[in-house]
Structure 1
Amino acid sequence: MARPEGKYAWTVTVGTKGQIVLPKEARDVFDIKPGDTLIILGDKDQGMAIPPKNQFSDFFGKIFGK
């Protein structure tokens, strides 16, 4: 089964310190470099998401009423 264009799925393992390693393909696709800051959003019912870093200001504005 071919994956739809622009759609991805990866698995990660949580280490003993609670850290995860983002797969290289994910880092390449989303241009994530060492030292970058990411935001993780969570909802108990819907799960967690890591939005693209170029959308941070949009999320901060919605969360903090910009």
Structure 2
Amino acid sequence: MAAGESEAQYGPGGRGFYGSVTVSERGQIVIPAQARRDLGIAPGDKLLVLGDPEQGLALMTVDRLMRTLRGSTDLLSQIQGHVPAEPDRPAEE
């Protein structure tokens, strides 16, 4: 293990804690090697940076987001099949 690299800690569902990183003067961070290996992140991969004021930042690959959205669309379609159609509502002013 390289200097400064710590062992990952894993929790329920394979969620990992990979340590901490420091933001550089230019706003850059280094994703720990074990996290890159575990999550299949390779040089040249595009990552999306998602933010929530309450929960902070999250990084996600574009293809993972697309798989999640496809799954959400499939689930929404299944749910809509069990919900009676609503009559047309007048537009709100």
| TM-score, L = length of structure 2 | 0.53
Number of residue-to-residue matches in the alignment? 60
For the aligned residue pairs, the C-alpha RMSD in angstroms reads: 2.6
Answer yes or no: is 1:18 the counterpart of 2:18: no
Aligned residue for 1:48? 57
| TM-score, L = length of structure 1 | 0.71
Higher RCO, Cα 8 Å, sep 6+: 1
Q: Which whole-Å deviations, capped at 9, do the CAs of 1:9-62 have from their partners, x for residues lacking one?
A: 121111110001000000000111111000111011221111354322229x98
* Gap regions ≥5 residues in structure 1: none
How many percent of aligned residue pairs carry the same amino acid? 37
* Gap regions ≥5 residues in structure 2: 1-8, 74-93
Runs (4+) of structure 1 exceeding 4 A deviation are: none
Q: Which has the larger radius of gyration?
A: 2
